């Protein structure tokens, strides 16, 4: 079995030094959603991600925590499986400081200690049930839910997805890909998403891919290949300290793997869920965690009337199923 690393990206928006740099570089005009507090605010539950990994994925080779240099006060820097990485340790100096996740993710291949097989966790994704290595990789390839999707432009963010798809269409021929990997795309693992693929198959170009908001499963070599082929585009994106309409985003990595056939079909939604943190969803979120209805949960920060109340309830739920400190904690 190949070594599998986990990568976690994290930021603490309460840090005064971070806030000072954030406002120092903040452009006068930018994406309206790029500076919203919910994009950066700290729910103070990162420790539960580490606890979940240690308890439910003890087989992980190494956990890389990537920050701008911020260190959680509870973090045990001497934890055997921890690799603490600052942006300046691997991102070229010309791209720093950055307040966009895109340069942070698109340059991960520069981390020398990172294994070829790795899983990227945003700090809003948590492991709350036993997961095996085969949930992420099989036969050396990432497991993924492959299905087509039709883009429906509704925000500035969609422009970045269009940029991703444009690269895929230039680089791959859709019909050729379908012939070569027919059973990967028309697999029962796609579940009800298979209907999207069937309906969109006649179109000569890729219209889009189904996007799940769960940990992303990557090959390090995919990033290396993308930089070799599209260095100018990735350089431009990495040079943007904040999100830009001309960016590609990290989904390009996954799209490239799908279009190339470098994946094993698997319905990731069977054991995982992404829930928006709203007042209406709060009870469901707490119940999902406490009852461990899924093995992986993503909590998409959204609008709650009381941030502190929501944080207290959610963290209490995590503490109920993960009461003991992990080796990653002091």
Question: Could you tell me if residue 159 is inside a domain?
Answer: yes
Question: Could you tell me if residue 250 is inside a domain?
Answer: yes
Mean pLDDT of 64-78: 97
Question: Could you tell me if residue 20 is inside a domain?
Answer: yes
Q: What is the pLDDT of residues 251-284, one digit of tens each?
A: 999 999 999 999 999 999 999 999 998 899 999 9
pLDDT higher than 60, residue 27: yes
Q: Which of 172, 151, 157 is nearest to 102 (CA)?
A: 157
Structure letter (DSSP) for residue 325: P
Whether the link from the prior residue into 97 is cis, omega within 30° of 0, is yes
Q: What are phi and psi of 272, to 5 degrees?
A: -140, 155
Question: Could you tell me if residue 303 is inside a domain?
Answer: yes
Q: What is the pLDDT of residues 132-178, one digit of tens each?
A: 999 999 999 999 999 999 987 666 667 899 999 999 999 999 999 99
Question: Could you tell me if residue 326 is inside a domain?
Answer: no
Do 140 and 198 contact (CB within 8 A), yes or no? no
pLDDT of residue 250: 93
The band of 28, judged by pLDDT with boundaries at 50, 70 and 90, is: low
Q: What is the pLDDT of residues 82-129, one digit of tens each?
A: 999 999 999 999 999 999 999 999 999 999 999 999 999 999 999 999
Mean pLDDT of 189-213: 95
Question: Could you tell me if residue 185 is inside a domain?
Answer: yes
pLDDT of residue 32: 46
Query: Cα 245 vs. chain centroid, distance in angstroms?
Result: 20
Question: Could you tell me if residue 328 is inside a domain?
Answer: no
Question: Could you tell me if residue 216 is inside a domain?
Answer: yes
CB atoms inside a 10 Å sphere around CB 170: 9
Burial letters 199-234, b for 16+ CB under 10 A, else e = ebeeeeebbbbeebbbbbbbbbebbebbbeebeebb
Domain span at 206: 4-321
Q: Which of 241, 236, 235 is nearest to 21 (CA)?
A: 241
- Count of domains observed in the chain: 1
């Amino acid at each position: 079995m190949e070594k599998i690393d986990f990568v976690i990206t994290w930021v603490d928006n309460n840090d005064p030094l971070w806030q000072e740099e954030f406002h120092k570089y903040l452009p006068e005009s930018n994406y309206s959603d790029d500076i919203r507090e919910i994009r950066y605010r700290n729910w103070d539950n990162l420790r539960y991600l580490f606890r979940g990994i240690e308890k439910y994925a003890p087989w992980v080779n190494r956990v890389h925590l990537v920050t701008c240099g911020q260190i959680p006060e509870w973090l045990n820097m001497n934890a055997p499986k921890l690799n603490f990485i600052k942006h300046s340790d691997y991102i070229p100096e010309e791209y720093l400081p950055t307040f966009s996740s895109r340069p942070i993710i698109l340059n991960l291949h520069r981390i020398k200690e990172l294994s070829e097989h790795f899983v990227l966790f945003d700090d809003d994704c948590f492991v709350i049930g036993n997961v095996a290595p085969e949930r992420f990789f099989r036969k050396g390839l990432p497991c993924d839910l492959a299905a087509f999707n039709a883009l429906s432009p509704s925000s500035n963010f969609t422009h970045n997805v269009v940029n991703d798809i444009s690269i895929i269409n230039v680089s791959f021929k859709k019909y050729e890909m379908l012939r070569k990997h027919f059973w990967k795309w028309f697999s029962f693992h796609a579940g009800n998403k298979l209907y999207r693929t069937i309906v969109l198959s006649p179109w000569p170009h890729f219209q889009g891919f189904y996007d799940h908001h769960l940990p992303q499963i990557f090959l390090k070599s995919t990033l290396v290949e993308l930089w070799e082929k599209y260095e100018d585009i990735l350089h431009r994106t990495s040079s943007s300290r904040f999100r830009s309409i001309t960016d590609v985003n990290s989904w390009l990595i996954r799209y490239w793997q799908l279009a190339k056939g470098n994946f094993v079909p698997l319905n990731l939604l069977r054991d995982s869920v992404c829930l928006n943190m709203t007042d209406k969803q709060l009870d469901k979120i707490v119940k999902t965690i406490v009852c461990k209805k899924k093995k992986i949960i993503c909590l998409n920060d959204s609008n709650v009337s009381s941030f502190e109340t929501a944080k207290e309830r959610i963290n209490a739920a995590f503490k109920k199923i993960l009461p003991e400190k992990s080796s990653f904690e002091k």
